[in-house]
Every structure is written in structure tokens, then in C-alpha cells.
Structure 1
Amino acid sequence: MRVISLVPSATETLAAWGIDPVACTRFCERDDLPHVGGTKNPDIAAIAELVPDLVVVDREENRREDFEALVAAGIDVEVLHIASLDDVNGELARLAQRVGAAWQPEPLPARSELPPLRRADGDDTRVRVFVPIWRRPLMTISDRTYGATLLAYCGLEVAFADRPDAYPTLDEADLASEPIDLVLAPTEPYPWHRHHLDELGAYGPVHLIDGQDLFWWGTRTPGAVRRVADAVARSLS
């Protein structure tokens, strides 16, 4: 099949299944493939010129108006929707069927196999983490997102998880209202680096974490759960 992926997670997963898309976005980290724009601004005309059999999008990553433009161009579009760990296997099974991949789900590591994530003061309550995903404005994740459910599976409590928006915008009053044991600063979507540590340190101890392991779902998910839990355990030791 001639597949175009507009989702970095899907691009990675398809490659793991032995299916290289004929094109992808510039965020998919595949410099060997043609790029057709970004996740939020794909080049519809360039996609149509490649005459794909299928274009893969995701409701969390891509815009409805781009989906509608693809459909209007007569292109077959597979829409995934992965907003939690529980969504992964079902959505990947559907994608595998569409592209003819022989895939069997890999189970998540049992919680008993993950390192215990304990507070430094010995308190038995769960470690409460703040995950800033954008800088200006400052934004985070709620429990309506894949990343928050992955952290919860690891045994962490995510600050602001009960907000009604999937990606809440915060102000200083919000941050002052929530106790935070650890700031997990992901390397994407905002590229937090070590020179940001003092800025984020105003909210709690800071640990940089791989944004792909936290937010890219797919064949990487079982390993990502282990790596995220191990990284947090190291930051708490």
C-alpha cells in the first residue's frame, strides 16, 4: 500500500511493522522520506500528487479541517484516536488491518515489575508530578491524554489531571494552588532544555524526560512505560 502518515507515532509504528510510508510530516524524524508539511499544516496538494492508498491521521495530532480537505480530495483517510493507554491496542489493531500488517499486541509491563516511585520524605501518598508541555502560555496535560494515563500507570499522580480541558493553560495562581513533588519537563512538544531548569525550578525539583516516550504511542508503548518509570525513579533517588 501507498501510505502517508501525518502522525509521528504512526510513522514509527508502521516502520516497525516493515511498512515505510511514501511520505510523512517533518516531525516524524524520517529525513529519508518525503515530507508533506507538519501535523497541523499538511500540504494537501502534495499529498494528493503522491496518490496514496491511505492517509493516517490522529484526532489528537491533526486538525479536523485538514481531514475534511483530504476527504474532499477523494483520499481514503484512517482516523485514529489515542487519548489513553487503553486506546493503544485497539487502534493499532485497526491500523494493522487497514495496512495488512501482521501484528500482535505486546503486553504492558506489570505494575509489580516497575520500580516503586516513592516520595523522598517517605510519605506513602503518590508522587505528584507537574508536566509542562508549553512555555508561553504555560500548559500541561489532564487525565484525558495518553501521557497522563501513562504516568498514572507508572504510579504517579498528575497535577491538574482533573481539569476539563485535555491541555489546560495555567497561571501562577494555578501553580500556587497545587502541591508539586516533581516537575517532569519533556523534550517535546516544547523543547525544554537544561537552561530552563532554574525557570521551572520555581515549581519544584525538575527532571528532564524524553517527550517521545511520554507522548508517542504505538509499538514503543510497552518499552516507554518501563523507561519513563525508570527515569522518574532515578530522579527521586
Structure 2
Amino acid sequence: MRIVSLVPSVTETLAAWGADPIACTRFCERDDLRHVGGTKNPDIEAIAALAPDLVVVDREENRKEDFDALVAAGIEVEALHVASIDDVEPELDHLAARLGVATQPEPMPARAGLPPLRRPSDGTGPVRVFVPIWRRPYMTVGARTYGTSLLEYCGVQVAFADRPDAYPTLSESDFAGEPIDLVLAPTEPYAWHRRNLGELSAFGPTSLIDGQDLFWWGARTPTAVTRVAQTIAQALG
């Protein structure tokens, strides 16, 4: 099939399945493929000109107006919806069935087999982590997100995940009295670097974490869980 992927996670997963798309977004890290815009601003005309059999989008990653524009152009679209680690397997199974691809997914690591985490100094409750996905203003991940569900699978509690928004915006006052055992600064969507981690240390011990492992679901999910758990365990000492 001639597939266009507008989701970096899907582009990576299709490659793992041996079913490379004919085009993808500029965020998919595939310089060898045709780029048709970004996840939030795809070039609908360019996509239509490729005459794809299927365009794959994700409700969390892409905009409904672009989905509607693709459908209006007479293009077949598969809209996945991954908002939790539990959504990954059924959504990928559905996609594989639609593409006629036989897959052998790697099993998820058992929670009991993940690296043990050193508990907070008071010895009570789970480790609480803060994940800044944006800067000025700070934004983080809420309860209804894949990243939060992956971290919870690793045995930690995500600070501010009780907020009603999927991606809460925070002010300085929000941190007052908020217990944070570890700050995990992801390399995307905001590209945190070691040189600007100093400001985050005001909230707690800080460590970089691979943003793709934290937010790119798909074929990488099982191994990403293990790597994220290892990063947290090492950061906690």
C-alpha cells in the first residue's frame, strides 16, 4: 500500500514492520522520505498529489481540521487514538490488520522486572516526578496522556496530573507546596539541554530523559519502558 504517515511514532513503527510509508512529516526523522509538512500543518495538496492508498493520523497528534480536509479531498484516512500505554497494542493491531501486515510485537516488560526505585526521603508514597514539556510558561503532562501512563507503569506518580487539562500550563505559584522528588526534562517537544537544567533544579533533582522514549508510542514502547525506568532509577541513585 501507498501510505502517508503524519505521525512520527507511526512512521517509526511502519519501518519496524518493513512497511515504509511513501511520505511523512518533517518531524519523523526520515530524510530519505518525502516530507509533506508538519504534524499540525500538513500540505494537503502535496499529499493528494501522491495518490496514497491511506493516510495515517492520530487524534492526539494531529488536528481534526486536517483530518476533515483529507477526507474532503477523497483520501482514505486511518485515525488512531493513543492516549495511554494500554491503547498501543489494540491500535497497532488495528492498523496492522488494515495494512495486511503480519507483526510480532515485543511483549511489554513486567512491572516487577523493572529497576526498583529508591523511595523519597520520607519513605512514604511513590516517587513524584515533574515533566516540563515547555518553558516560559512551563507546561507538563496531565492524566490523559501516553507519557503519564508510561511513567505510571514505571512506578512513579506524575506531579500536576490531577489537573483537568491534558497539558497543564503552570505558574510559579503552582509549585508552592508541591512535593517533587525528581524533575525529568525531556529532549522534546521542548529541547532541554544540560546547559539549561539549572533553572529546573529549583524544583528538585533534575535529569534529562529521552523525549522519544517518553512520548513516541508504537514498536518502541516495550523497550522504551525499560529505558525510562532505568533512567529514573539511575537519577534517584
TM-score bracket relative to the smaller structure? over 0.9
Work out whether 1:87 is the aligned partner of 2:87: yes
Report the equivalent of 1:148.
148
How far has the Cα of 1:105 moved from its partner?
A: 3.4
Give 1:168's aligned residue. Answer: 168
* Correspondence 1:220 to 2:220: yes
1:55 & 1:87 partners in 2: Cα distance?
20
Farther-moved stretch of structure 1 (115-124 vs 105-114)? 115-124
The offset of 1:24, in angstroms, is 0.2
SS in 2 for 1:201: helix
TM superposition outliers: structure 1 runs of 4+ over 4 Å? none
In the superposition, the TM-score normalised over structure 2's length comes to: 0.98
Cα offsets for 1:40-95 (capped at 9, x unmatched): 00000000000000000001100000000000000000000000011000000011
Distance 1:164 1:122 in 2: 28
Q: CA offsets, 1:2-39, max 9 Å, x none?
A: 00000000000000000110000000000000100000
Runs of 5+ consecutive residues of structure 2 not aligned to the other structure: none
Query: Please, which moves more after superposition, 8-17 or 137-146?
Result: 137-146
Shift of 1:169: 0.5
TM-superposed deviation, 1:117: 1.2
Which secondary structure does the structure 2 equivalent of 1:184 belong to? strand
Structure 2 matches for 1:125-144, cutoff 5 A?
125-144=125-144
Task: Give the unaligned 5+ runs of structure 1.
Answer: none
The number of aligned residues is: 237
Q: Distance in 1 between matches of 2:47 and 2:26?
A: 13
* Partners of 1:10 and 1:218 within 8 A in 2: yes
Residues 185 and 192, structure 1, Cα contact 8 Å, conserved in 2: yes
SS in 1 for 2:208: strand
Equivalent residue runs for 1:1-237 within 5 Å? 1-119=1-119, 121=121, 123-237=123-237
Identity across the alignment (%): 73
Deviations 1:103-125 (A, max 9, x none): 13332111111011123526142
* C-alpha separation in 1, matches of 2:37 and 2:89: 28
Mapped to 1, the partners of 2:140 and 2:178 lie a distance apart of 13
Give the match's secondary structure for 2:176: helix
**CA-atom RMSD in angstroms:** 1.0
Alpha-carbon distance, 1:217 to partner:
0.3
Amino acid in structure 1 at the alignment position of 2:202 = A
The answer to whether the Cα contact below 8 Å between 1:118 and 1:126 also exists between their aligned partners in 2 is: no
| Distance (Å, rounded) in 2 between the aligned partners of 1:145 and 1:166 | 6
Segment of structure 1 superposing worse, 112-121 or 183-192: 112-121
1:135-181 deviation per Cα after TM superposition (whole angstroms, max 9, x unaligned)? 12210001100000000010001001111111000101111241111
- Contact conserved, 1:106 with 1:222, CA < 8 A, in 2? yes
Whole-Å Cα distance in 2 between the matches of residues 108 and 163 of structure 1?
28
User: Is this contact kept in 2: 1:133–1:189, CA < 8 A?
Assistant: yes
